[in-house]
Amino acid sequence: MSYRYWTTEEEAYLRQHYGVKRVAEIMLVLNRSQRSVEKKADKLGLRSKYPGSPLYANGGEHAPRYYGEDHPLWREPGKPWESAGRVYYRRDADSKPELYARYLMEQAGHDLTNKVVRYRDGNPLNCEPDNLMVVTRAEHARMNYRSCKDIPLRRARSRMAQTGESLVDLILKGEFV
């Protein structure tokens, strides 16, 4: 793959249109990749004037990065919260969020090394202690395997492996419906 040098005409076009037009439009006109256009614009010191750009809102400066308590999604330690269908908990300001169910089971004295906390009713929002159970990873895998809906297909595959018959033969015999 050879490098294609930028011509003075391409640079002039980029200076005139970068930040006014979308990068995708510039890419099509110049027949360049997005990375190529953005790197060249950065080398030329061009800043976006386009309202959709994160640089536009800050007068040409990059958007500030938020960490810790300044982050918009920060949650106060010691209080559980719901997110993406699960309940999370943060022990202290420096800790990572963890599943609230795991925290509760640890507080109840369970050793969770190489173990999984399962919800008896299958609802990860129900963190009542009587709804939680601790199982090994192997037990967890077996439970998930049993709960799959394609058990007849698994039986058919097992039968095919044992007898050497094809799936069509099993269907014709009526052993797999």
Q: What is the tens place of the pLDDT at every residue in 36-65?
A: 888 898 888 887 655 555 444 445 454 455
**The pLDDT value given to residue 55:** 47
* CB-CB contact of 99 with 81 (8 Å): no
**The pLDDT value given to residue 112:** 92
- Stretch among 11-15, 37-41, 136-140, 170-174 having the lowest mean pLDDT: 170-174
pTM of the model as a whole: 0.46
The predicted model gives 64-80 an average pLDDT of 69
Residue 117's Cβ-count burial label (10 Å; 0-12, 13-18, 19+) is: buried
The predicted model gives 89-110 an average pLDDT of 89
**More reliable by pLDDT, 170 or 122:** 122
- In the chain, the percentage of residues whose pLDDT exceeds 70 is 72
Beta strands in the chain (DSSP E): 81-83, 86-89, 98-99, 115-119, 132-136
- pLDDT > 50? residue 124: yes
Q: Position 41: which residue type?
A: A
> Tokens representing 62?
């990059």
- pLDDT > 70? residue 140: yes
Q: Where are the domains of the chain?
A: 8-57, 81-146, 148-177
**Phi, psi dihedral angles at 137 (to 5 degrees):** -65, -35
* CB-CB contact of 136 with 115 (8 Å): yes
Residue 101's Cβ-count burial label (10 Å; 0-12, 13-18, 19+) is: buried
- pLDDT > 70? residue 102: yes
90: left (phi over 0), alpha (psi -120 to 50) or beta: beta
* CB-CB contact of 55 with 48 (8 Å): yes
Q: What are the Cα distances from residue 16, in Å, to 30, 58, 132?
A: 13, 21, 62
At 23, the pLDDT band (50, 70, 90 cuts) reads: confident
**The pLDDT value given to residue 56:** 47
The predicted model gives 115-136 an average pLDDT of 90
